[in-house]
């Protein structure tokens, strides 16, 4: 978490998890049941209300040390049904990322250069997997999966816009790395195949398809999607879109 004197490390998995859950739902009240589920899952302590209050008090104490009592008092709020971290979403990287991606998707058909710049700004916010160091509960897991899926979709859109402006060796290298990390994201595979074909590397494009197909058949017992198969046929005919 970024404080006045730089990055502040929140010690203790429970404190980190509590803060992460509140920030993912910035300016919204999280119920006591939601927070208890996120902090303890099925291992709920006997006096769970007291335990939750104690966790909130410890987090307040940690934040006061770094941000001051007045600032924390007006942000980490107690509500009748739970707790709320009253912070503008523009101060939380996860929400800034999603806002930039939404704007980019709205601009993709009308201003591709602007959309590409928005996506690059959004993806630059990522410093690693989301919600690192938190307790693996249903809510945090759901938020992590959603953010990761949004990141991959944004990455695919960025590749699409970048390749539409001309295929470079750096874009192909990035596509290869993304395809290696995410072999089941067929949109990435498709863009890599088309990009390789456009720079005269038709054989490599076919090899990429065959490698993915072999993985799908061996590990999942299924063929590539009809769209990817159609893209292969088009490349073999010399007429990919």
> What whole-number distance in Å separates Cα of residue 4 and Cα of residue 67?
7
Q: DSSP string spanning 189-241? A: HHHHHHHHHHTT-HHHHHHHHHHHHHHIIIIIS-PPPHHHHHHHHHHHHT---
Indicate the CATH number of 2-87 among 1.10.10.10, 3.40.50.360, 3.40.50.720, 3.90.1150.10. 1.10.10.10
> What whole-number distance in Å separates Cα of residue 74 and Cα of residue 175?
45
Identify the burial level of 124 via C-beta atoms within 10 angstroms of its C-beta, where 0-12 means exposed, 13-18 middle and 19 or more buried.
exposed
Distance between the two ends of the chain, CA-based, in angstroms? 45
Token pair belonging to 45: 């302590």
Host H or E run for residue 84: strand 82-85
Task: List, run by run, the mean pLDDT of 10-residue segments along the chain (241 residues).
Answer: 56 88 92 92 87 92 78 84 91 94 95 95 92 87 93 95 85 93 93 92 94 93 93 86 62
Q: DSSP string spanning 27-67? A: TSEEEHHHHHHHHHTT---TTHHHHHHHHHHHHHHHHHHHH
> Diameter of the chain by CA atoms?
69
Q: Spell out the residues 6+ positions from residue 15 whose beta carbon is closer than 8 angstroms to its own.
A: 55, 58, 59, 62
- Kindly report the CATH number that applies to the domain delimited by 167-241: 1.25.40.10
pTM over 0.75: yes
CATH top-level class for 89-165?
mainly alpha
Token pair belonging to 52: 């939750």
Q: What pLDDT is attached to residue 11?
A: 78
> What whole-number distance in Å separates Cα of residue 118 and Cα of residue 126?
14
> What whole-number distance in Å separates Cα of residue 52 and Cα of residue 36?
7
Ranges for all domains in the chain classified under CATH 1.10.10.10: 2-87
Matching residue, tokens 């970048």: 162
Ranges for all domains in the chain classified under CATH 1.20.58: 89-165
C-beta separation of 108 from 161 below 8 A: yes
């Amino acid at each position: 978490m970024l404080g006045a004197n730089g990055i502040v490390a929140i010690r203790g998995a429970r404190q980190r998890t509590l803060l992460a859950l509140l920030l993912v739902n910035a300016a919204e009240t999280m119920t006591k049941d939601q927070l208890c589920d996120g902090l303890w899952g099925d291992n709920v302590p006997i006096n769970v209300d007291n335990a939750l209050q104690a966790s909130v008090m410890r987090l307040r104490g940690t934040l006061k040390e770094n941000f001051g009592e007045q600032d924390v008092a007006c942000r980490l709020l107690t509500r009748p049904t739970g707790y709320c971290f009253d912070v503008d979403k523009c101060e939380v990287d996860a929400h800034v990322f999603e806002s930039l991606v939404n704007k980019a998707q709205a601009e993709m058909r009308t201003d591709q250069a602007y959309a590409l710049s928005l996506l690059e700004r959004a993806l630059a916010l990522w410093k690693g997997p989301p919600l690192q160091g938190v307790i693996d509960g249903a809510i945090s897991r759901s938020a992590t999966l959603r953010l990761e899926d949004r990141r991959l979709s944004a990455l695919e859109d960025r590749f699409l816009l970048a390749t539409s402006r001309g295929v470079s060796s750096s874009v192909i290298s990035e596509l290869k790395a993304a395809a290696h990390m995410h072999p089941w994201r067929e949109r990435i595979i498709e863009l890599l195949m088309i990009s390789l074909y456009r720079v005269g590397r038709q054989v490599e494009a076919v090899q990429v398809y065959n490698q993915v197909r072999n993985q799908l058949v061996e590990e999942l017992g299924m063929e590539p999607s009809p769209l990817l198969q159609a893209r292969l046929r088009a490349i073999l005919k010399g007429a990919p879109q």
